[in-house]
Structure 1
Amino acid sequence: MAFWAANWAWGALFLGGLFEAGFTTALRHIDGGRNIGALIAFLVSVTASMGLLALAGRHIPMGTAYAVWAGIGAAATAIIGVACYAEPMSLVRGLLVIGLIGCIVGLKALG
């Protein structure tokens, strides 16, 4: 049972990190609360993201869970920015995002 719970927790943590990228992306479009669709997307995403982080924190040490959650959100937000908003992707930025993903994988392997 503990094996399944721990693996489920990592899946919840990964999904929570993706929702973090969702709320940061929605935040870009809120326009001071005038864009109701973006505001709703932000509220749903932030609620799901924090809820999944809290659930994962029951089975993964919170320091590790938070680092992985933030890393997944940061990497996904950077990728969304490049893919959807024409943000620049230099070689150094790309290597740093890859390094961030590598650190996440390392924390999972140690966890």
Structure 2
Amino acid sequence: MSWLVLILSGALEAVWAAALHRASTLQGRRRVAPAALFLAAAAASTGGLAFAMRSIPTGTAYSVWVGVGVVLTSAYAIATKVERPTTARLLLLAGIAACVAGLKVVA
């Protein structure tokens, strides 16, 4: 259960990062909705991390949380054309994903 919560919390990290980007890039519009989403996702994400840390070692839990967030945030940025999907970027992101999976295997 803790691993599932941890993975979902990492996904919420990507949600709050994307919402923060949207809140800061909207020109001449209200930024209330993305800001509210940012706050809710950040609270849920860190709350899930705290829950997972009760049974997963701190270093492992934090590394997985950040790794999932990084990969999903980058995937979102590539999908929305904010970042280019270069070969190097994709290989490095795959490396991060492999390391996260490795941490689950050895934990």
Q: Could you say whether these structures have the same fold, taking a TM-score greater than 0.5 normalized by the shorter chain as the test?
A: yes
Residue 82 of structure 1 corresponds to 78
Residue 5 of structure 1 corresponds to none
Question: Is the counterpart of residue 10 in structure 1 residue 3 in structure 2?
Answer: yes
Question: Is the counterpart of residue 58 in structure 1 residue 51 in structure 2?
Answer: no
- TM-score normalised over the length of structure 2: 0.92
Cα shift at 1:30: 1.4
Cα shift at 1:85: 3.3
Equivalence map 1:24-43=2 (5 Å): 24-31=17-24, 34-43=30-39
How many corresponding residue pairs? 103
Q: Segments of 4+ in structure 1 off by > 6 A?
A: none
Distance in 2 (CA, whole Å) between partners of 1:23 and 1:86 is 16
Where do 5+ consecutive residues of structure 2 fail to align?
none
Aligned residues: CA RMSD: 1.2
Where do 5+ consecutive residues of structure 1 fail to align?
1-7
Cα shift at 1:39: 0.5
Between stretches 61-70 and 82-91, larger displacement belongs to: 82-91
Identity of aligned residues (%): 38
SS at match of 1:28: helix
Give CA-to-partner distance per residue, 1:15-74, whole Å, 9 cap, x none.
000000000000001138x40000110001000100000000000001100000000000
